[in-house]
Amino acid sequence: MDRRTFLATGLASAAFGAEALAQHSDHLPPLKEAPPSPAPYSRLQGGGFVHHLEPEQEAQRVVDSPAPKGPQGQWIARAPLPLPRSEMAWATAWAGRMHIVGGYGEGRVDRAYHHVYDPGADRWFDAAPLPRGANHVAVAADAGRIYAFGGFIEQNRNPDTNVYAYDVAADRWSAIAPLPRARGAAAAVALGGKIHLVGGAGAPVAERASVGWHEVYDPQSDQWTARKPLPGARDHVGCVAHNGVIHIIGGRFNTFEYNTDLHHVYLPERDTWEERAVMPTARSGHGLVVYRDRLFAMGGEAGILSQGVPRQAKVFGQTESYDPATDAWQQHAPMPTPRHAVGATVLGDRIYVAGGGAVLGGALQSAVHEAFALT
């Protein structure tokens, strides 16, 4: 399907309304099952499988939260990813399934993987891969399609402007209007039939500086427009839409050495940002989802890499949630396996967190998959 045909199909689908789109999304294509990884971890250098962490790697794990205790809930193990992966730049869901695209894996940083998880069967499937491989690709789902924005071609640097849309029912990607400016590790979220792309890191390659850019993609016109930038340029943020506004939480200024706990809310009717209660644990590369009318953050990383050697390295397992009604945070049971750069979504009444980095940076990928529910 070329871009013109894709757009025509999108416009026709919109005419049928939300009910037709919901019915369309239920007709999912048959996908090939992907068996679980034979090992929980693999190395980026060399791509070899790893069956356990070394003591110095285990020592990077942190689970203590300064937030007041809330209901603890429970984590359970789910089917591991088909292979250890990280730096996918989050995940998204449509028709009750989780989609994870791109990232690091099998010793490379420019993978085009597209894995789909079915919680009812507790199984993973292979879907059509991205047209080109990249890491830190921003993803969002809306109206039967998965959108993939930008990403890095090299390890956490050298962004491109490519944008693709995946038709869930057809298991097929199409190129759409490219980004106005190249970036990776941005945050994508659907709101009101449009996709907001916020923050990230841009070029030149040698600088890889965080940006506060805020641009909106309209699927109906296949065009981009600019909106008010994010206060405090940053990347690797958590991002969700809830009750008509967008929450951007945490992230980093250029590197995980400079993490932040900042929490901003975008009000689309006023095209402005406001501050909210900061996240208890400053972190980046964490998951953020809406679950039972609260915003749940889990995972992330912090530390310093000096000539490739980690110092003050932290890989977070904290699960903290935010109540928009009271502007307050609380803590819950931490992830059994702390990770960063995870794929996190809500399916049914559980939070699913798959893959991610098991140590600071991109040296070790994970196939670990765990799910959380409040009891």
Domains in the chain, ordered, with CATH? 3-373 (2.120.10.80)
Q: Answer yes or no: is pLDDT of 5 > 60.
A: no
Percentage, residues of the chain above pLDDT 70: 93
Let me know if 69 is exposed, middle or buried by CB neighbors in 10 A (0-12, 13-18, 19+): exposed
Token output for 328: 């307050």
Tell me the per-residue pLDDT of 38-93, one tens digit each, with 9 for 90 and over: 999 999 998 899 999 999 999 999 999 999 999 999 999 999 999 999 998 789 99
Coil, strand or helix at 16: coil
Percentage, residues of the chain above pLDDT 90: 87
At 11 the pLDDT is 37
d(CA 139, CA 29): 20
Give the Cα-Cα-Cα angle 239, 369, 92 (nearest 5 degrees). Answer: 35
At 307 the pLDDT is 75
Q: Answer yes or no: is pLDDT of 186 > 60.
A: yes
Tell me the per-residue pLDDT of 118-130, one tens digit each, with 9 for 90 and over: 999 999 999 999 9
At 305 the pLDDT is 79
Mean pLDDT of the residues in the chain: 92
Show Cβ contacts of residue 262 under 8 Å, excluding neighbours closer than 6 positions: 232, 234, 248, 249, 250, 251, 275, 278, 279
At 4 the pLDDT is 40
Rounded to an integer, the average pLDDT of 263-268 is 98
Let me know if 216 is exposed, middle or buried by CB neighbors in 10 A (0-12, 13-18, 19+): middle
Tell me the per-residue pLDDT of 150-180, one tens digit each, with 9 for 90 and over: 999 999 999 999 999 999 999 999 999 999 9
Q: Answer yes or no: is pLDDT of 19 > 50.
A: no
At 203 the pLDDT is 87
At 18 the pLDDT is 34
Give the pLDDT band (50/70/90) at residue 27: low
Rounded to an integer, the average pLDDT of 126-138 is 97
Q: Residues for the chain: how many in total? A: 375
Q: What is the pTM of this model?
A: 0.92
Rounded to an integer, the average pLDDT of 203-213 is 90
Q: Answer yes or no: is pLDDT of 21 > 90.
A: no
At 306 the pLDDT is 78
Rg of the chain taking only CA atoms, in angstroms: 19
For residue 5, the surrounding DSSP H or E stretch is: helix 3-15
d(CA 201, CA 184): 5
